[in-house]
């Protein structure tokens, strides 16, 4: 990826809090990252680590209340999306920033045809008339590999299989030729052979269209095959960020290391015993004043109780939020 | 667990020609217009003390298989022998005393635990139903079970919603263990859990197996986790078993084109391998089990399809000792017309050269 290029999306110090009856939950705590043109940024973390909430916050998709986006800035196309008007946001969402969600059944409207739903953003955002929108919708279905596209425009979502529905979702997200595509666990609900089809499609589309993609997942295998750069989240914070090969070859954060070691594989050596990360992920009732991972960390030291580690650079494009220094230790044994 | 392979093993579960058809109805009179063939003639054994992994994509019939084996459904045809007793056609009264020996751990610990019962109530319910323990004995047993699955005894009077997903699954496991079962069907026990919690639950299941000599049928769509926990693996596709083999043989050298494609589709958590790897991408989707293709169920998507596959269903044959494959590619006899059940007489050493 071109390192010097101006980022298409620049997020600084994003904070999101949910107000609940049990008090506040600090779901996103000072998250900063940027997205460069044409790159695919993988976001990994367990449920509750704040990966989806981060992406929903920056485009204003969280209902408020209970959500409260408290601080930070999201620069996109020269505007701060957190400070701009709702009208402006609406012109960005679905047009210049596209979304794909996890479950294609619940994110498509069952009472409208697929064609109508693809044509909707084309007519709203691009101002196309009905005929032109239909032509473009057909092209889009072709693009995402749905056979017999012309006829299928008049079908309803339930007439499509899970994988085909996800292709429709991708077609809708791509309809207005977005600069940024945010994909939230887009293959998690799919079977592996269908997931392989969708991953192949995304690889093709990236070459053809060249938009920047944020890909949220908990599957490290998917990340390994598709991402250029990876951001690991834990407790609503970015704990490590690195180019994909660097992250897998030289992970620095104890959480990243543990995560990589807990995953069994279908190839290569089979581990006799699975490695385990003991304990549970935290629920953050307050802004973290200490490291969120310390309770489950094998390298925790007194300092981790007192201070929340800031991200520090450890290599080209590689930074980590941890005080511990692995030194020369080989991480596979460490 | 493979070192036991040499000693003669006892079959704890024997399934033969099992069919489970669900009726498809239409119209106001709910007239039957067809069948969903969730299980279409499957046969396999599970040996005492082993874990048989059952893998396949959604809708292939793997969960139905687990449920029919425990007689949560009444099978359409076929026999199920557990510990020598045929329960395939047994009535409820005959089944009841047999139930303690066979238990189940469900996928969704949220849905399979009664939210209005305390943990002690949930774990103790099987004891109420099947034993005459006194209150004190029961409480002792409940504490013992909570210790065994790594739950804090002090939480016995709490309700399921007060626990995390991984802990809830431990409650489900403790309940399944309450009556000292021999055989447990684990139906996607880790699918609803986070990666780091999955490993905890899998390790617990393995520990319990070693300590209590349990036999598992481990149903999952996660091929990498099955590789970790299973001794032998059965791959299902559209209601039929495509391949059944010892774990290492299956993962090192998959034989059925579907198994090959399935394994190829699993991404590797290593970018070096992942960028260089050649993948088999299957086209299309799984056909409907209400209207499976004539011939081999996989013929519509198989990259190595032949003429015979469109007309004749391949039988599950033992092509190497312990390796069963249902595919025409591995049939040595030219006239492979049999569409019937893989009866015991077919399970010989024929075709072991492949």
Q: Do A281 and B194 touch (CB under 8 A)?
A: yes
Q: What is the pLDDT of residue B21?
A: 93
Q: Do B269 and A223 touch (CB under 8 A)?
A: yes
Span A325-330, average pLDDT = 72
- Least Cα separation, residue B85 to chain A (angstroms): 34
Q: Average the pLDDT over each of A326-330, B48-52, B106-110 and give the range with the smallest value.
A: A326-330
β-strand A67-76 against A79-80: which pairing, if any? Answer: antiparallel
Span B37-47, average pLDDT = 93
Confidence of residue A3 (pLDDT cuts 50, 70, 90): low
Of B8 and A134, the one with more pLDDT = A134
Q: What is the pLDDT of residue B339?
A: 41
Q: What is the pLDDT of residue A4?
A: 60
Q: Give B150-209 pLDDT, tens digit per residue.
A: 999 999 999 999 888 889 999 999 999 999 999 999 999 988 888 888 888 999 999 999
Confidence of residue B335 (pLDDT cuts 50, 70, 90): very low
Spell out which residues of chain B touch residue A262, defining contact as CB-CB under 8 Å.
Answer: 195-196, 198-199
Confidence of residue B7 (pLDDT cuts 50, 70, 90): low
- Least Cα separation, residue B279 to chain A (angstroms): 8
Taking CA–CA distances from A250, the nearest residue in chain B reads: B270
Taking CA–CA distances from A256, the nearest residue in chain B reads: B196
Spell out which residues of chain B touch residue A263, defining contact as CB-CB under 8 Å.
Answer: 195, 224, 269
Q: What is the pLDDT of residue B338?
A: 42
A312's enclosing H/E stretch is: strand A312-315
Of A294 and A190, the one with more pLDDT = A294
CA distances from B38 to A77, B61, B229 (A): 53, 5, 25
Judged against a pLDDT cut of 90, whether residue B43 lies above it is answered with yes
Quote the percentage of chain A above a pLDDT of 70. Answer: 97
A151 touches A65 (CB < 8 A): no
Spell out which residues of chain A touch residue B264, defining contact as CB-CB under 8 Å.
Answer: 196
A108 touches A117 (CB < 8 A): yes
The beta-strand segments (E) located in chain B are 11-26, 31-47, 51-55, 77-82, 85-86, 102-105, 183-187, 215-220, 232-237, 240-246, 317-320, 323-325
Q: What is the pLDDT of residue B353?
A: 36
- Least Cα separation, residue B269 to chain A (angstroms): 4
Spell out which residues of chain A touch residue B265, defining contact as CB-CB under 8 Å.
Answer: 192-193, 195-196
User: Which pair of structure tokens corresponds to residue B105?
Assistant: 């751990």
What domains can you pick out in chain A, each with its CATH number?
105-215 (3.40.50.300)
Mean pLDDT of all residues belonging to chain B: 88
B280's enclosing H/E stretch is: none
Residue of B341, B349, B352, B322 whose CA lies nearest to B50: B322
Residue of B320, B288, B241 whose CA lies nearest to B59: B288
Span A148-162, average pLDDT = 88
Judged against a pLDDT cut of 80, whether residue A1 lies above it is answered with no
Span A174-179, average pLDDT = 89
Span A8-15, average pLDDT = 93
Nearest-angstrom CA–CA distance, B262 and B285: 13
Q: What is the pLDDT of residue A103?
A: 78
Nearest-angstrom CA–CA distance, A153 and A172: 12
B195 touches A218 (CB < 8 A): yes
Judged against a pLDDT cut of 90, whether residue A273 lies above it is answered with no
Q: What is the pLDDT of residue A329?
A: 67
Q: What is the pLDDT of residue A330?
A: 66
Mean pLDDT of all residues belonging to chain A: 88
Taking CA–CA distances from B192, the nearest residue in chain A reads: A47
Q: Who among A265, A271, A278 is closest to B269 (CB)?
A: A265
Judged against a pLDDT cut of 90, whether residue A281 lies above it is answered with no
């Amino acid at each position: 990826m071109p390192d010097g290029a101006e980022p298409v999306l620049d997020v600084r110090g994003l904070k999101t809090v949910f107000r609940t009856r049990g008090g506040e939950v600090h779901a996103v705590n000072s998250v900063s990252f940027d997205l460069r043109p044409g790159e695919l940024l993988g976001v990994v973390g367990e449920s509750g680590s704040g990966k989806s909430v981060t992406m929903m916050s920056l485009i204003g998709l969280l209902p408020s209340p209970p959500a409260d986006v408290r601080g930070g800035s999201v620069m996109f196309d020269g505007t701060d999306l957190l400070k701009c008007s709702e009208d402006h946001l609406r012109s960005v969402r679905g047009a210049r920033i596209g979304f794909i969600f996890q479950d294609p059944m619940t994110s498509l409207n069952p009472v409208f045809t697929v064609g109508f739903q693809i044509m909707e953003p084309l007519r709203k955002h691009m101002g196309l008339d009905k005929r032109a929108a239909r032509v473009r919708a057909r092209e889009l279905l072709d693009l995402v590999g749905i056979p017999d596209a012309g006829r299928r425009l008049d079908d309803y979502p339930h007439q499509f299989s899970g994988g085909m529905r996800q292709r429709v979702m991708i077609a809708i997200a791509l309809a207005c030729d977005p600069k940024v595509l945010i994909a939230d666990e887009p293959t998690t609900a799919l079977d592996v052979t269908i997931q392989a089809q969708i991953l192949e499609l995304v690889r093709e589309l990236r070459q053809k269209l060249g938009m920047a993609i944020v890909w949220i997942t908990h599957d490290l295998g998917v990340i390994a095959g598709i991402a250029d750069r990876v951001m690991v989240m834990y407790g609503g914070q970015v704990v490590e960020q690195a180019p994909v090969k660097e992250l897998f070859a030289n992970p620095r954060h104890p959480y990243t290391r543990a995560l990589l070691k807990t995953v069994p594989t279908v190839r290569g050596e089979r581990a006799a015993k699975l490695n385990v990360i003991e304990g549970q992920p935290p629920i953050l009732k307050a802004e973290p004043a200490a490291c969120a991972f310390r309770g489950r960390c094998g390298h925790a030291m007194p300092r981790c109780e007192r201070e929340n580690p800031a991200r520090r650079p450890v290599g080209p494009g590689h930074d980590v939020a941890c005080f511990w220094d692995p030194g020369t230790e080989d991480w596979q044994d460490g | 667990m493979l070192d036991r392979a040499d000693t003669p093993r006892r079959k704890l579960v024997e399934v033969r020609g099992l069919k489970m058809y669900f009726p498809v109805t239409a119209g106001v009179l709910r007239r039957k217009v067809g069948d969903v063939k969730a299980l279409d003639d499957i046969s396999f054994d599970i040996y005492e003390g082993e874990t048989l992994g059952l893998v396949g994509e959604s809708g292939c019939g793997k969960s139905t298989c687990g449920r029919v084996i425990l007689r949560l459904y009444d099978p359409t045809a076929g026999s199920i022998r557990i510990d020598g007793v045929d329960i395939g056609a047994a009535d409820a009264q005959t089944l009841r005393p047999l139930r303690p020996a066979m238990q189940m751990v469900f996928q969704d610990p949220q849905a399979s635990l009664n939210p209005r019962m305390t943990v002690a109530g949930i774990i103790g319910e099987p004891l109420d139903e099947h034993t005459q323990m006194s209150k004190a004995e029961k409480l002792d047993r409940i504490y013992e079970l909570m210790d065994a699955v790594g739950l804090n005894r002090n939480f016995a009077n709490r309700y399921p919603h007060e626990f995390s997903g991984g802990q809830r699954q431990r409650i489900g496991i403790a309940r399944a263990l309450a009556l000292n079962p021999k055989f447990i069907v684990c139906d996607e026990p880790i699918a609803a859990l986070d990666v780091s919690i999955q490993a905890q639950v899998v390790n617990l299941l393995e520990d319990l197996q070693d300590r209590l000599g349990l036999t598992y049928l481990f149903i999952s769509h996660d091929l990498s986790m099955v590789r970790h926990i299973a001794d032998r693996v059965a791959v299902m596709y559209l209601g039929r078993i495509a391949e059944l083999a010892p774990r290492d043989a299956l993962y090192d050298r998959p034989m059925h084109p579907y198994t090959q494609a399935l394994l190829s589709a699993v991404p590797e958590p290593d970018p070096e391998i992942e960028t260089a790897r050649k993948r088999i991408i299957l086209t299309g989707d799984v056909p409907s089990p209400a209207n499976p293709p004539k011939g081999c169920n996989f013929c519509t998507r198989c990259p190595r399809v032949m003429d015979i596959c469109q007309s004749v269903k391949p039988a599950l044959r033992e092509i190497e000792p312990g390796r069963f494959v249902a595919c025409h590619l591995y049939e040595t006899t030219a006239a492979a017309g049999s569409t019937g059940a893989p009866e015991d007489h077919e399970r010989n050493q024929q075709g072991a050269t492949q």
